[in-house]
Chains A and B, each alone.
Chain A
Amino acid sequence: MTTLTAQSIEEIMSRHHDVFHRPLMERLRAPLIAAGLVLYVIFAWFLFAIGSTISNGNWDIAGTYLADWISYEVRPDVEYDGDYLKVEFPRFSPLGDNPDPAWLQKTTAQVERLAVTETGGGIGTENSTQSGGSFMAPGAPGTQAGGSGVSSGGSFMAPQADVTTEAPAAPTTQAEGEMLSEKVVTSVNLGIGPAKVEILPGLVRVNYRDEELLIDVIPEQSVIARGDLPAWAVQKVADGDILMRFGFAGSLEVESDEVKIRQRFLGWENFWFDTRSPYWNKNFSEIFGLITSGERIDPDRSNLALAWSNFLNNAEWQHADVWLKLLQTIVMAFVGTLFASILAFPLAFMAARNITPNRFLNQFLKRLFDFLRCVDMLIWALFFTRAFGPGPLAGISAIFFTDTGTLGKLYAESLENIDDRQREGIRSVGASPVLVQRYGVVPQVLPLFASQSLYFWESNTRSATIIGAVGAGGIGLKLWEAMRTNADWENVAYMVLLILATVFIFDNISNAIRKRLMGNDNRSH
């Protein structure tokens, strides 16, 4: 093993003087720049108030939004209807018009009870049962919590009859009592993920993570938990609503007048057919059977045509519209880039100083390219949206104007770097100036030009998405609208997937063509 002697170290140091004795400024430059950047980041942190903004953000909602990308919620409400319960689904529930899902078990009982019909009021019969419930409330406040349905059904009839006989409150709309036999819900059982929930009139029982929570509900008054609340339940106000979260599976909110259930299911709901379609809620083999051998659902059309049109016009996913807008985006990028290349090609020849020896024209065109390029694509998009109205024509024009500048500049630069010997050769055999360019210049630069254009084609497919959001056509606006509602994140996910797939496909097409044009040695391009 050899060790360096002091002498040899000195010798090496004197041999490589500039490595070992660098000036102070040069040694300090990199650390100083790094320190400056760190200081800048700290400054920006306060300038944009990043810390406080992030801590004030609604991160609870963020989880829900993210979950919405790949899943959907069903939101039934269980209302307290006197001593019974009423399960209600929102109007546009993903489960269709009259849902009765298997995961929500209802215990029902047949009871006789009083329903009040208003004569002359012109209100439907559906309303009358509800008004019967409201009459009952003053007569029997908080009666028999948890009592069995049938017996309490008998007990509340008496005060109700009193109200109808001696009530002076209803002189205009004469209320008539009528005995109806109807089916009522006495308890609801369901599982939200691992949590087991049982809802009874006046009582909610939840089992989750080996803990049992009992909640007493006094209708229209208070919500009181028996014992301490476990970690997964929150009550912000004493006697107020209790919110229980069960992770991804959903949540349960117990309020004094109803229990809100949020049950989350993985997947995109009604992706193929919406609830109005006859194909809705059928599995693949049923649909296949209907299409191939079923009887015509719509006498005017074959089942296949009906299925196709139902799919395209799916109210929730709007497949036809999304695809149309995506096609617009693709067309914008394609036509814009193609026109820009076609116009930039001759202009670049005039702008290249070795091809057109006219200083004034060169400079003028180069500054024109700079102008087109530096007035941003956004500005062009906004202007042309005013000229053509919203739509792909505005997008095409914006891409065309910007890229004429960019491509013109790039083309002119590559023309100025060509090998001059080929031109000399062609000129020496007496070719006309046009032919000199055609055979002396074009073969050299055409693959390069095409490659640059292809690169901008795929890059524009991406930027066309963004300028679409300001009205220049394409999927951008649709994406933006879907995000603004804050409820259609699954549609956003769908469109993002389509965009990613499109970009991926065009990336590969353009890479393949470029590889063939440029030869295989040019890997990095």
Chain B
Amino acid sequence: MSTARPKVGLSPQGQLIERHWQEMLRTRRFYTWGGGLALLAVLAASLWFANESNAGKFFDRLPHLFDFVGDLIPRDGWEIWRALFDLPTPYADGSLKYNYPDGRMYLTDNFYVPEYVYKMVETINIALLATLVGFAFGFVLCFLAASNLTTRRWLRFFVRRFMEVLRAFPEIVIAGFFLAILSLGPIPAIMAVAIHTIGSLGKMFFEVVENADMRAEEGLRAVGGNWVERVWFGIVPQVMPNFLSYTLLRMEINVRASTIIGAVGGGGIGESLRLSISRGHEAKTLAIVILLFTTIVAVDQLSATLRKRIVGNQAFAFGSGD
């Protein structure tokens, strides 16, 4: 009896489980490989299509990939600073390439703001104003879209679809439409960015509101507060930090967005950049790129610091909204 060894291997039930496990593994591998192959096929087709419909072919143009670096090397290193601060250059020959001092914006008789700094400030102002407008409207709309505050289904449905349309509507169309009416200037860019911001902030806001603690609101309801009072004193204090941090995050995105809108006609630094690249002005391009890079890093850092102060180390879900 004592010499009888326990049976090696699995019991019948165990074998059944093992068999099932192997089957599931096979199915899973099949899906993984099948999905991978399908993805590869789509990718190959996409690449072929992109290459075919492009003006230059990929392999013909590959040696030129870093041509833009050549477009960025000015005659000497000081040119960048002269372009950035609108200082006169010894190479001046009357052409647009070296006319740095022409762009000066004189605030008083002696004090001027360099052209690109002024344009950068304009772009930041576009972004800031658009964010503020987006915040104001998103703030009002989000309470109407939140299921815990708005009991009327149709209203909620309508507000949510409205915000979705604002979010998905291409910014460039709004900008183009207002450019046609208001002529050139920053206002079409502000409107385009602001309308998109209303939609995306509204969506993030109402998700925050739906996750809010309802006990404060219940307390106010018990003492007879009306809807506005309940929202203002019960909900707003607890969601405000999140609202602010989402708004700051949006501000970062809007600085980039207004640069891009600027490049297609909305004014600001984007337009200067596009012109200077297409005309091949190395020093100006590099000056703008450096300015833009510094600004974006600064805005990101500032916003990150502020957000950390407002909501602490709470991680941000990058995957929500837009």
C-alpha spacing A39/B11, complex, angstroms: 79
Query: Which of A58, A393, A452 is within 8 Å of B56, CB to CB?
Result: A393
Among B47, B261, B273, which residue has its beta carbon within 8 angstroms of that of A379?
B273
Minimal beta-carbon separation of B186 from chain A (angstroms): 5
CA distance A517 to B153 in the complex (A): 30
- Complex interface: chain A residues within 8 A of B187 (CB): 48, 50, 53-54
Take A451-B319, A479-B172, A483-B176 as given contacts and tell me if A334 and B46 are in contact as well, using a CB distance cutoff of 8 Å: yes
For A335, give its contact among B47, B125, B186, B263 (CB under 8 Å).
Answer: B47
Q: Does A431 contact B (CB under 8 A)?
A: no
B51 / chain A contacts, CB cutoff of 8 Å: 393
Interface residues of B in 112-145 (CB under 8 A from A): 125, 128-129, 132
Write the nearest CB–CB distance from B318 to chain A, whole angstroms.
6
With beta carbons under 8 angstroms apart, the residue of A377, A459, A504 that contacts B260 is A377
One of A41, A324, A374, A391 near B296 (C-beta < 8 A): A374
- Known A-B contacts A44-B125, A44-B129; A331 and B46 likewise in contact (beta carbons under 8 Å): yes
A393–B190 alpha-carbon span in the complex (Å): 30
Contact, CB under 8 Å: B170 / A378:
no
Stretch in A5-13, A123-131, A153-161, A382-390 with 4+ CB within 8 Å of B: A382-390
Known contacts A57-B181, A387-B64; A375/B289 CB under 8 A? yes
Chain A residues, Cβ within 8 Å of B278:
382
User: Are A387 and B65 also in contact (CB < 8 A) when A328-B50, A410-B318, A483-B176 are?
Assistant: yes
Verify B259–A376 contact, CB threshold 8 A.
yes
Interface residue A70 (Cβ < 8 Å from any Cβ of B):
no
CA separation between A264 and B310, bound complex, in Å? 55
The answer, yes or no, to whether A500 is at the interface (CB within 8 Å) is: yes
B319 touches A455 (CB 8 A): yes
**CB-defined contacts of B318 to chain A, threshold 8 Å:** 410, 452, 455
Is the beta-carbon distance between B256 and A377 smaller than 8 angstroms?
A: yes
Q: Which of A59-67, A132-140, A436-444 contacts B (4 or more CB under 8 A)?
A: A59-67
B107 within 8 A of A: no
Asked if B180 and A483 make an inter-chain contact with CB atoms under 8 angstroms apart, the answer reads yes
Give residues 166-202 of B contacting A (CB, 8 Å).
Answer: 168-173, 176-177, 179-183, 185-187, 190
Give the residue name and chain of the A residue nearest to B121 (CB). Answer: A47
Take A338-B43, A378-B270 as given contacts and tell me if A466 and B260 are in contact as well, using a CB distance cutoff of 8 Å.
yes
State the Cβ distance, B42 to closest chain A Cβ, in Å: 8
Interface residues of A in 480-504 (CB under 8 A from B): 480, 483-484, 486, 492, 496, 499-500, 503-504
The answer to whether A462 and B168 touch across the interface, beta carbons within 8 angstroms, is yes
Whether the Cβ atoms of B53 and A328 lie closer than 8 Å is yes
Q: Which residues on the A side are within 8 Å of B172 (C-beta)?
A: 465-466, 469, 476, 479-480
Residue from B181, B186, B207, B296 in contact with A524 in the complex, judged by beta carbons closer than 8 Å: B207
Chain B positions 277-308 with a Cβ under 8 Å from a chain A Cβ: 277-278, 289, 292-293, 296-297, 300
Nearest B residue to A458, CB-CB: B322
- With A58-B181, A483-B176, A525-B320 known as contacts, the answer to whether A374 contacts B300 (CB < 8 A) is yes
Query: A42 vs B21: C-alpha distance in the bound complex, in angstroms?
Result: 68
- Select B46's contact among A335, A470, A492, beta carbons within 8 Å: A335
B124 to chain A, nearest CB (A): 11
Please report the C-alpha to C-alpha distance between residue A486 and residue B179 in the assembled complex, in whole angstroms: 10
Q: Complex formed: what's the CA distance from A335 to B186 in Å? A: 33
Cα distance A62–B188 in the bound complex, in angstroms:
13
Interface string of B53-70 (1 = CB under 8 A from A): 111101001001111100
* A335 surroundings in chain B (CB, below 8 A): 43, 46-47, 50
* Nearest CB of chain B from residue A49's CB, rounded to whole Å: 8
Closest to A47 in B: B125
**Neighbouring B residues of A377 by C-beta, 8 Å:** 256, 260
Q: CA A390 – CA B183 in complex, angstroms?
A: 27
Nearest CB in chain B: distance from A303 CB, A = 30
When A331-B50, A525-B319 are in contact, do A391 and B274 touch as well, CB less than 8 Å? no
- Contact among A53, A338, A394 for B185, CB-based, below 8 A: A53
Q: Is the CB of B169 within 8 A of A496?
A: yes
Q: A334-B46, A524-B317, A525-B320 are in contact. Are A500 and B169 (CB under 8 A)?
A: yes
What residues on A are CB-neighbors of B50 within 8 Å? 328, 331-332, 335, 391-393, 396, 473
Q: A476 to chain B: which residues have CB within 8 Å?
A: 172
CA distance A465 to B187 in the complex (A): 21
Looking at B55, B58, B277, B317, which has the most chain A CB atoms within 10 Å of its CB? B55
Find out whether the CB atom of A486 lies under 8 angstroms from the CB atom of B180.
Answer: yes
Q: Do B260 and A479 touch (CB < 8 A)?
A: no
A512–chain B nearest beta-carbon distance, Å: 14
A466 to B274, CA, bound (A): 14
Within 8 A of B (CB), among A256-309: none
Q: Are the CB atoms of A387 and B68 closer together than 8 Å?
A: yes
Q: How far, in angstroms, from A525 to B322 measured CA to CA in the complex?
A: 11
Q: Is A327 an interface residue (CB 8 A)?
A: yes
* Cβ A374 vs Cβ B297 within 8 A: yes
Residues A392 and B173 in contact, CB atoms below 8 Å apart: no
Residues in chain A within 8 A of chain B (CB atoms)? 37, 40-41, 44, 47-48, 50, 53-54, 56-59, 61-62, 65, 324, 327-328, 331-332, 334-335, 338, 370-371, 374-379, 382-384, 386-394, 396, 410, 417, 451-452, 455, 459, 462, 465-467, 469-470, 473, 476, 479-480, 483-484, 486, 492, 496, 499-500, 503-504, 507, 514, 524-525
14 A-B contacts (beta carbon < 8 Å)? A40-B128, A48-B186, A54-B182, A338-B43, A375-B289, A375-B293, A383-B68, A387-B68, A388-B56, A393-B58, A394-B54, A473-B50, A492-B176, A504-B168
6 nearest A-B pairs in the assembled complex, by CB-CB distance: A391-B54, A389-B55, A389-B56, A483-B176, A383-B68, A392-B50
Known: A389-B55, A466-B170, A496-B170. 7 other contacts (CB 8 A): A53-B182, A382-B273, A391-B54, A392-B49, A469-B263, A483-B173, A524-B320
